[in-house]
Amino acid sequence: MLPRLISNSWPQAIFLPQLPEVLGLQDTEVYKATVKDDLTKWQNVLKAHSSVDWLIVIVENDAKKKNKTNILPRTSIVDKIRNDFCNKQSDRCVVLSDPLKDSSRTQESWNAFLTKLRTLLLMSFTKNLGKFEDDMRTLREKRTEPGWSFCEYFMVQEELAFVFEMLQQFEDALVQYDELDALFSQYVVNFGAGDGANWLTFFCQPVKSWNGLVLRKPIDMEKRESIQRREATLLDLRSYLFSRQCTLLLFLQRPWEVAQRALELLHNCVQELKLLEVSVPPGALDCWVFLSCLEVLQRIEGCCDRAQIDSNIAHTVGLWSYATEKLKSLGYLCGLVSEKGPNSEDLNRTVDLLAGLGAERPETANTAQSPYKKLKEALSSVEAFEKHYLDLSHATIEMYTSIGRIRSAKFVGKDLAEFYMRKKAPQKAEIYLQGALKNYLAEGWALPITHTRKQLAECQKHLGQIENYLQTSSLLASDRHLTEEERRHFCREILDFASQPSDSPGHKIVLPMHSFAQLRDLHFDPSNAVVHVGGVLSIEITMYSQMPVPVHVEQIVVNVHFSIEKNSYRKTAEWLTKHKTANGIINFPPETAPFPVSQNSLPALELYEMFERSPSDNSLNTTGIICRNVHMLLRRQESSSSLEMPSGVVLEEGPHVLRCSLVTLEPGANKITFRTQAKEPGTYTLRQLCASVGSVWFVLPHIYPIVQYDVYSQEPQLHVEPLADSLLAGIPQKVKFTVTTGHYTVKNGDSLQLSNAEAMLILCPVESRAVVYSNTREQSSDAVLRIQSSDKVTSISLPAAPAYHVIEFELEVLSLPSAPALGGESDMLGTPEPHRKYKDKQKTGHCMVTTDHKVSIDCPWSIYSTVIALTFSVPFRTTHALLSSGTRKYVQVCVENLSDLDFQLSDSYLDTGDGTDLQPVPLNTQSQQHIHSKQSLFFVWELKWTEEPPPSLPCRFSVGFSPASEEQLSISLKPYTYEFQVENFFTLYNVKAEISPPSGMEYCRTGSLCSLEVLITRLSDLLEVDKDEALTESDEHFSTKLMYEVVDNSSNWAVCGKSCGVISMPVAAEATHRVHMEVMPLFAGYLPLPDVRLFKYLPHHSAHSSQLDADSWIENDSLSVDKHGDEQPDGSSLGSRGSVHSVCSGEHKGLPMPRLQALPAGQVFNSSSGTQVLVIPSQDDHVLEVSVT
């Protein structure tokens, strides 16, 4: 068929090739006779057709050739022909030798022939096509000229396409059509821009026929001819062009491109008709598109198998969807989507549309499912339309779903829902709307949500789902994407329903609150959300109404959950006030529920540290981490998407509610205040918020974050605490009294009865005031405190104060100084030990001695007395020492100020008792002295006596003191006293040591022995203190055993020989004992003399241990052996006597040992202490030892 369509301008040789002459030449004669003439004639014919493409083939016979082996090459027929015809083109003559034989030579010659033929054919085509294309291009260039016609040009370029198609060059053929397509589109666009071409006006004629694409025939001759006759409409041209493109694409095995191009074409055609302002009867285009879609789909189905189609739904689904859409609009147009069916006008329109379809084409007449038949049937009746429309819709939805284009599927579903709504079948529409809405909600498409909700509202209204309808209405009424009027409409729907008298009273319709109003913030007053029993708590909430009009709410109710706190201490005011430091405002996060950004966006973990402390000592009881939004994180995923389900809201009923009646909620923020009187102590948790409008209840099921308030009840309490860190004894100190009234109301005349402690005075200043504070630390009143004191009781009358208030006042107390009774515990060496009771508390030596005073207070609210212990610290620490100078004795008292205050000391006095003639002579003459904080002051007295003094002397030191800073004190303060005893203060022995250089030397030298002379002199006769175990009596002479020991602790001396020994000392005045020993100085310089110690030597069998420490025993083993020897014989003769210092201890190594008792410091006077001896270095000692410390 194709060649018929190609014009005569093409060289016939190409398409009707005059086969080259094949000459089976036998000899030259024959050639000359006939063949040459024939060839000449043929050549003339070719010339007449101006064809330049020819080829002469000479077939040679092999056998013949062999016979004429010696023929000259020049004279062969081949040469002759070449000479005659191929003057310039020698390649136009080909020799084919023995074509029927099977030899290599034959093969070769065939190959050569075919190659030549192919080359020449290609050359010929190239030349001719090039020429044609040039002509075509020239024609196209003329398109701006007035007479140019697109149809004419169309035919020319199509011819080229035919040529390519015939040559099986489908790709090239397709390019020709695509170019035509693009050119035409360009013209249409330009026309739209005002640049119209004359020829285009022809395409603007009204559309009269809309019979769709025809793809079953390779060439739609009918349409082609109409184009040729320039009678084609735009749809005709487009249809024809597409049918050709389709054919070629199918040849190229690209059916999916057909589908995709078809969709583009259909969209494009609709646009072009609009652009060219072509008048189209209503529905005509829909018919055309519907038919075309189905035609394309059927054509594709015709050339693909099922599996291929199924796997390429993505390409075809667009056409399905488009067809569905168009059928739907046809249905609406022709009145097929209604309850009543089409009216006469609709029927007329249907008839017109069907007329435009024309008669069915012969090629589809036999097929049962042809697009033409389908459309005709669908438009024939309401039932048929429904069937076809549902078929198409379901197929499309299924396809979209299968390729994952859920949104597109939902969109078709929404159309279907609309269809059902028109058909008054809302129950069928509902699933589609719900499905679409769920999808939009999950993905957060705000506008589609609004649109779908509007549809759904209508659907639910028809279905009579009152709750669902009201809920959707509330959502729509709060939807900002709707106009004010629409929102009002939906709001009115709710209010109208609410105002209707309900058929069953008490029936409630529970709706979620978030669409109606949102809880923005909540504010407690008092701000710590803690209130005592009977107190008033107000809660102010801010509700943001989403409704477009003011809504009268009958009541707003907050359900409160009450729980008795297990930890009873939580209920104390201190704990609660300490733990709620927030300003009492709780903000609620704005609800993001309507448009979740994504399903996966779970709220972030809200983790908080939790510390629970013990109330008594504030130590940590428990600690942990609390996740505050567990309910958000752990809830089921599905529930988050079922936001539309009202069933999830359960109205809680409880005995504890906060209520606020007759409130008008204006659009926007509203403040609502709840007031409640606290009843039972415990914790109250706000659970639900409900607003009731008639029988409609809007419920906020959970108030989150958790809001709580606490109610507590408290017993009255009295606290007494010092104002300063610690109270000092001896001077007036301020103490703060705090009465926490709790539930008790303090009446006029109520008083605190303080039973006086012995050593503590309560001072009563004239103008002392009590201040009454409210629970929130606001001062409410103050009053003068009236205090009445008697011997035993101090009565403080309290000012009247209501319950849950605090009364505070200050009193001054004075602890009378009392020196710790030291008695026998002092020793002559100084440093009296602190009182045993306080020893444990002393961590360092500088802690103050404390005394406790207990005060028992009778409170008006209790039959029991409150005992309060106040601890006072003695600001001073006192030590004493006995100092000797020969037989003269001095007492030194050191007063150390441990407090942070400065004091003035005055009138120091040492009382030695009346019974003795001892006279302390003070060496300090100043009467007043200042003692600063952390400093010490010394007082010294010389003891003088005339008679023999007693062995023990009780002393009492007293000094007046007052704080240095205060000018005047209202009362006279008691002096500070310190009692101690001085014992054994009478000097018995004088020890004198002397070192003399070796004889003949002037100075001592290092390394050379020097002599040490120790002179022990008894200073008194037998005294009371001498009567102990060591005393022996013979012939009225008394003697005592003493041990001396020479020790050099500073290692300056090396004692040679015995360093110690036992001597028997006569107990008589001026009795002396001389000891001589050798010492060697180890260093040069002024060296202090080695120490000489004296001990009493006591018999071994006594149960008392010595005062010598174990170290010295071990150090000097020889001594211990020595002592054993000396002691053994006479040990039994001595009686034992108790001693103040004796402390039991086990005997060393189980052996009987003599005991040593150090002589008290007051009994021995070392007259050589402090003296030094000059030691010069020895001559041969060249080594100078330098020790650097």
Partner 1 sequence: EISAWGSLVARRERNLRQLYPTGTSKVYGYVTNSKVKFVMVVDSSNTALRDNEIRSMFRKLHNSYTDVMCNPFYTPGDRIQSRAFDNMVTSMMIQVC
The answer to whether 255 contacts partner 1 (rule: CB under 8 A) is no
Q: Which of 404, 534, 886, 913: binder of partner 1 (CB under 8 A)?
A: 404
Give the single-character DSSP code of 404.
T
Can you tell me the distance from the alpha carbon of 874 to that of 383, in angstroms, rounded to the nearest whole number? 113
- Minimum distance of partner 1 from residue 261's CB (angstroms): 9
Task: Calculate the dihedral angle through the C-alpha atoms of 492, 498, 501, 503, rounding to the nearest 10 degrees.
Answer: 120
Contact call for residue 1181 and partner 1 (CB under 8 A): no
Closest approach of partner 1 to the CB of residue 590, in Å: 14
Among 56, 249, 258, 263, binds partner 1 (CB under 8 A): 263
For the chain, what is the total number of helices (H) and then of strands (E)?
Answer: 29, 49
CB of 318 to partner 1, least distance (A): 7
Compare residues 325 and 1029 and give the one whose CB is closer to partner 1: 325
Only one of the segments 149-157, 258-266, 509-517, 982-990 lies at the binding site for partner 1 (rule: CB under 8 A); that segment is 258-266
Of 185 and 788, nearer to partner 1 (C-beta) is: 185
56-60 and 22-24 beta bridge pairing: parallel
Interface with partner 1 includes 481 (CB under 8 A)?
no
Task: Please identify, using beta-carbon distances, which residue of 408 and 775 lies nearer to partner 1.
Answer: 408
Which positions from 962 through 1021 interact with partner 1, judged by CB under 8 A?
none
Interface with partner 1 includes 270 (CB under 8 A)? yes
Residue choice 216, 224, 374, 405 for contact with partner 1 (CB under 8 A) = 405
274 binds partner 1 per the rule CB under 8 A: yes
CA 17 and chain centroid, separation? 88
CA 951/CA 181 separation, integer angstroms: 142
- 60 sits near partner 1 (criterion: CB under 8 A): no
| Nearest-angstrom CA–CA distance, 1005 and 999 | 12
Stretch that binds partner 1, among 29-37, 266-274, 450-458, 846-854 (CB under 8 A): 266-274
Min CB(390)–partner 1 separation in Å: 21
Site membership for partner 1, residue 480 (CB under 8 A): no
Minimum CB distance to partner 1, residue 53 (Å):
40
Q: Which region among 264-272, 295-303, 672-680, 747-755 touches partner 1 (by CB under 8 A)?
A: 264-272
Q: Among 186-194, 348-356, 682-690, 1115-1123, which window interacts with partner 1 (CB under 8 A)?
A: 186-194
Alpha-carbon span 615 to 575, nearest angstrom: 8
Residue 275: CB minimum distance to partner 1, A: 7
Q: Does residue 182 bind partner 1 (CB under 8 A)? A: no
Convert 420-474 into a string of H (helix), E (strand) and C (coil): HHHCCCHHHHHHHHHHHHHHHHHHCCHHHHHHHHHHHHHHHHHHCCHHHHHHHHH
Helix (H) or strand (E) holding 1017, with range, is: strand 1010-1018
Instruction: Give the contacts of 447 (CB within 8 A, at least 6 positions apart).
Output: 481
Nearer to partner 1, 266 or 1119 (CB): 266
- What does the block give as tokens for 109? 């010659």
Cβ nearer to partner 1, comparing 48 with 597: 597
User: In angstroms, rounded to a whole number, what is the distance separating the alpha carbons of residues 971 and 964?
Assistant: 15
Among 113, 322, 432, 697, binds partner 1 (CB under 8 A): 322
Q: Are 552 and 693 in contact (CB under 8 A)?
A: yes
Q: Among 33, 189, 303, 706, which residue interacts with partner 1 (rule: CB under 8 A)?
A: 189
255 with 300: CB under 8 angstroms?
yes
Q: How far apart are CA 234 and CA 1094, in angstroms?
A: 144
Residue placing its CB nearer to partner 1 in the complex, 322 or 372: 322
Of 311-319, 374-382, 880-888, 989-997, the segment contacting partner 1 by CB under 8 A is 311-319
End-to-end CA distance of the chain: 129
Q: How far is 960 from 977, CA to CA, in rounded Å?
A: 8
In 3D, which of 353, 342, 348 has the Cα closest to residue 385?
A: 342
According to the binding rule CB under 8 A, does residue 414 interact with partner 1? no
Q: How far is the CB of 153 from partner 1 (least distance, A)?
A: 23
Q: If binding means CB under 8 A, how many residues of this protein chain bind partner 1?
A: 20
**Shortest spacing between CB 387 and partner 1, in angstroms:** 24
User: Minimum CB separation from partner 1 for residue 421, in Å?
Assistant: 23
Integer Cα distance of 241 and 964 in angstroms: 120
- Read out DSSP for 901-924? S-EEEEEEEEE--SSS--EEEES-
Question: Is there binding between residue 415 and partner 1 (CB under 8 A)?
Answer: no
1-20 binders of partner 1 (CB under 8 A): none
315 binds partner 1 (CB under 8 A): yes
* Torsion angles phi and psi, residue 1153, rounded to 5: -125, 145
Position among 101, 267, 930, 932 found at the interface with partner 1 (CB under 8 A): 267
Position 299 contacts partner 1 (CB under 8 A): no
Question: Least Å distance between CB 493 and partner 1?
Answer: 33
Phi then psi dihedrals of residue 740, to 5 deg: -95, 115
Please name the residue that has the structure tokens 């939790």.
Answer: 610
CA distance 685 to 518: 19
Q: Which is nearer to partner 1, 115 or 271 (CB)?
A: 271
- State in angstroms the smallest separation of the CB of 271 from partner 1: 5
Coil, strand or helix: which one is 708?
Answer: strand
Q: Which is nearer to partner 1, 314 or 1015 (CB)?
A: 314
Q: Binding of partner 1 at residue 193 (CB under 8 A)?
A: yes
* Minimal distance, residue 446 CB to partner 1, in Å: 13
Element (H, E) at 349: helix 344-357
416 token code pair: 């279907």
By CB under 8 A, residue 275 contacts partner 1: yes
DSSP per-residue letters across 827-874:
-TTS-PPPPHHHHTT-SSTTPPPEEEEEEEEE-TT-SSEEEEEEEEE-
Coil, strand, or helix at residue 1028?
coil
Q: Which stretch binds partner 1 (CB under 8 A): 387-395, 403-411, 855-863, 1162-1170?
A: 403-411
CB nearer partner 1, residue 270 or residue 800: 270
DSSP 373: H
CB under 8 A: which stretch of 141-149, 315-323, 729-737, 946-954 binds partner 1? 315-323
Measured from the Cβ of residue 311, the count of other Cβ atoms closer than 10 Å reads 10
Instruction: Walk across the sheet containing 865-873 and list its strands.
Output: 727-728, 865-873, 850-858, 751-755, 793-797, 786-789
Q: Which are the contacts of 849, defined by CB distance < 8 A and separation ≥ 6?
A: 820, 834, 835, 838, 873, 874, 877
Q: Does 684 bind partner 1 (CB under 8 A)?
A: no
Under the binding rule (CB under 8 A), the answer on residue 238 touching partner 1 is no
Q: For partner 1, what does the binding mask look like between residues 325 and 354, x meaning CB under 8 A? A: x-----------------------------
| 264 contributes a contact to partner 1 by CB under 8 A | yes
225 interacts with partner 1 by CB under 8 A: no
Q: How far is the CB of 38 from partner 1 (least distance, A)?
A: 57
Applying CB under 8 A, among 176, 316, 408, 473 the residue interacting with partner 1 is: 408
Stretch that binds partner 1, among 36-44, 404-412, 563-571, 1025-1033 (CB under 8 A): 404-412
**Binding of partner 1 by 318 (CB under 8 A):** yes
Q: Which of 260, 555, 774, 1032 binds partner 1 (CB under 8 A)?
A: 260
Query: Is 808:773 a contact under the CB 8 Å cutoff?
Result: yes
Q: By CB under 8 A, name the binding residues for partner 1.
A: 189, 192-193, 260, 263-264, 266-267, 270-271, 274-275, 314-315, 318, 322, 325, 404-405, 408
